[in-house]
Amino acid sequence: MQIALPRPEAFAEADGRIVVGYSGGLDSTVLLHVLAHTPDLRARGLEALHVHHGLQAAADDWAAHCRRVCDTLDLPCKVARVDVARDAGHGLEAAARAARRAAFAQSMAPGDLLALAHHRDDQAETVLLRALRASGPDGLAAMRAWRRFGTGWLWRPLLALPRAQLLAYAQAHGLHWIEDPSNAVDDADRNFLRNRVLPLLRSRWPQADAALAGVAALQADATALLSPDDVAALAGARTSDPAVLDTTRLQALPSARRARVLRQWIDALGLPPLPARAVAWCEADLATGRADRVPVFDWSAHRLQRWRTQLHAGPIRSPLAGDFASTWSGKVPLQLPDGGRLWLEGAPADMRWTVRARHGGERVRLTGRAHSHSLKHVLQARDIPPWQRAHLPLLLDADGLVQAAGDLVFDAGFEAWLRAGGRRLRWAAPGALHTADDAPMA
């Protein structure tokens, strides 16, 4: 028994490796096996990535199992250990999904394909979940077989196949896989649909999975028809930062178009689908929002937040710890504990600075100014959002005077020193998009 993997028209655009999200379960085991026995796909560079959530007592055993399977297939297997934010207030399932998504994104190089083993049964569950959450056409289109993801692509080659076909393949080839006991527990919404609702629907309508997958396909067609106008409207609301929209331009759109633009924006960022209540939150804030408020909306370990006329979307991140302090020469990039990075192009050999978090009350003397100014007021005057300030590292000289706040604010003397030596101080906030050339590794 064989499985032929469909390849979308844009498949040739991805010229990197194929990274398989490999949990060790039935679905990903079948996908990995099929890819490993497809010569032209294997020749591109095929590897498995197992995300170790640490949520089950057997998590170490599962990682070991994945390595053994990959050894038998002569494939590399990387294990990414992640910290799942159990107390983030978004539910364990959403927190684990966010951690997994981040691990996948970090593993990919430009042009790589992330191959995931979602199948038709998963698609049916997703359509039901989205319908129960009052999703629009984009949400009901559910999972796509092919889409942009991070610096590469996400590919779901098994999406049209029922799980029964994957099981038959695994049995025919004598494959071994892990059974996650948490899948049998109905606490999670998806498990409840899988274990209780869909079996009941199938007993009455045997083609329920195919019908729900058909709903997704029809909604994807409808979305494609609306997409050109959505793209134009989104382009009009964008700022220089892909993760930030201009609320003034957003508010000028009709309500229905605005909802579609918000969802397309979130999708383009590779974030979890925006629920209907998030769109309602945006509508209410745009109608009544005040410039002196910083309202937020959280979903699936991600956050929408407005600052003045900027609407920002991204993962929920802990700020730079207040007690963080490090001595730095500038010769090698400094990795910050919140995931950010600081580096200096053209650093001399004999410099020493202290890099620390903001404590409050700092002052800085700007170029062309006779007196020092409150750093807080300078950041506010430059429209630096509060969430960005929370991650901003300070560079202090031997006398404890602020020389720089990230790469956003410079002391007059330090700025002159940078220019005289052709140097450049750079800061990448956690999660910021930057190239390898921009942010060299230590």
Give the CATH number, domain containing residue 81. Answer: 3.40.50.620
- Answer yes or no: is 27 a known binding residue: yes
- The total number of structural domains in the chain stands at 3
**Range with top average pLDDT, 315-319, 381-385, 392-396:** 392-396
Decide if 376 is inside a domain: yes
CB-CB contact of 65 with 24 (8 Å): yes
Structure confidence by residue, pLDDT tens digits, 94-130: 788 888 988 999 999 999 999 999 999 999 999 999 9
Task: Determine the structural domain holding residue 336 and report its residue range.
Answer: 325-428
Which residue type does 64 have? Answer: A
Q: Which helix (H) or strand (E) holds 170?
A: helix 163-172
CB-CB contact of 148 with 160 (8 Å): no
| Burial class of residue 377, CB neighbours in 10 A (0-12, 13-18, 19+) | exposed
Say if residue 134 is in the same domain as residue 201. yes
In this predicted structure, what is the pLDDT of residue 437? Answer: 36
- Local confidence band at 246 (pLDDT 50, 70, 90 cut-offs): very high
Decide if 141 is inside a domain: yes
Decide if 231 is inside a domain: no
Say if residue 194 is in the same domain as residue 330. no
Decide if 115 is inside a domain: yes
- Answer yes or no: is 26 a known binding residue: yes
pLDDT score of 271 more than 50:
yes
Q: What is the mean pLDDT of residues 189-204?
A: 95
Nearest 5 degrees, angle CA 113-CA 1-CA 146? 20
Q: What is the mean pLDDT of residues 207-225?
A: 95
Residues in the chain: 442
In this predicted structure, what is the pLDDT of residue 90? Answer: 57
pLDDT score of 197 more than 70:
yes
> What mean pLDDT value characterizes the chain?
91
In this predicted structure, what is the pLDDT of residue 441? Answer: 36
Q: Which tokens is 125 given?
A: 């569950």
In this predicted structure, what is the pLDDT of residue 87? Answer: 56
Q: Is the torsion defined by CA of 84, 85, 86, 90 positive or negative? A: negative
- Local confidence band at 439 (pLDDT 50, 70, 90 cut-offs): very low
In this predicted structure, what is the pLDDT of residue 18? Answer: 96
Say if residue 359 is in the same domain as residue 333. yes
Higher pLDDT, 12 or 29: 29
- Answer yes or no: is 24 a known binding residue: yes
Say if residue 364 is in the same domain as residue 270. no
d(CA 42, CA 34): 10
Residue among 155, 177, 159, 175 nearest 18 (CA): 155
Residue among 266, 324, 303, 325 nearest 386 (CA): 303
- Answer yes or no: is 23 a known binding residue: yes
- Answer yes or no: is 289 a known binding residue: no
Say if residue 185 is in the same domain as residue 273. no
CB-CB contact of 128 with 170 (8 Å): no
Q: Is the pTM of this model over 0.85?
A: no
